Amino acid sequence: MHRIRKDDQVRVTAGKDAGKSGRVVKLFLDRDKALVEGRNYVKKHERIEQQRGGGQGGGIIETEAPIHLSNLMPICPSCGEATRVGFVYETEGDRRSKVRQCKKCESTF
């Protein structure tokens, strides 16, 4: 289980977008990175592609780049603050499940 999941609200703690928040769109767990919506825009130089029926326009395109997970903090849905994450086990009858817990308000999410 990971501290940050897809569709979590996160706050960027380091880099050019420090202090800003956004929603996690995609996780790259093999590289420990996440793509955050509207954050970490980079300029990418694209070539003009030669295809049948005309080429695709090239030029300088702004795209979102992944951010390392160590530079992101999840925002707790109940208290609305960026927080550290702990894990607790909840029991439902004979089942036990591991859930994330806010370290500030101690609510699970």
Report how far residue 88's alpha carbon sits from residue 79's, in angstroms, rounded to the nearest whole number. 18
Report how far residue 17's alpha carbon sits from residue 24's, in angstroms, rounded to the nearest whole number. 14
Query: What is the reported pLDDT for 40?
Result: 96
Report how far residue 48's alpha carbon sits from residue 109's, in angstroms, rounded to the nearest whole number. 46
Q: Give pLDDT tens digits for 14-55.
A: 999 999 999 999 999 999 999 999 999 999 998 887 776 666
Pull the structure tokens for residue 106: 């101690």
- Whole-model pTM: value is 0.83
Report how far residue 33's alpha carbon sits from residue 77's, in angstroms, rounded to the nearest whole number. 22
Task: Indicate the class that CATH gives domain 1-75.
Answer: mainly beta
Q: Is it the case that residue 101 has pLDDT exceeding 70?
A: yes
Domain layout of the chain by residue ranges? 1-75, 77-109
> Between 98 and 52, where is the model more confident?
98
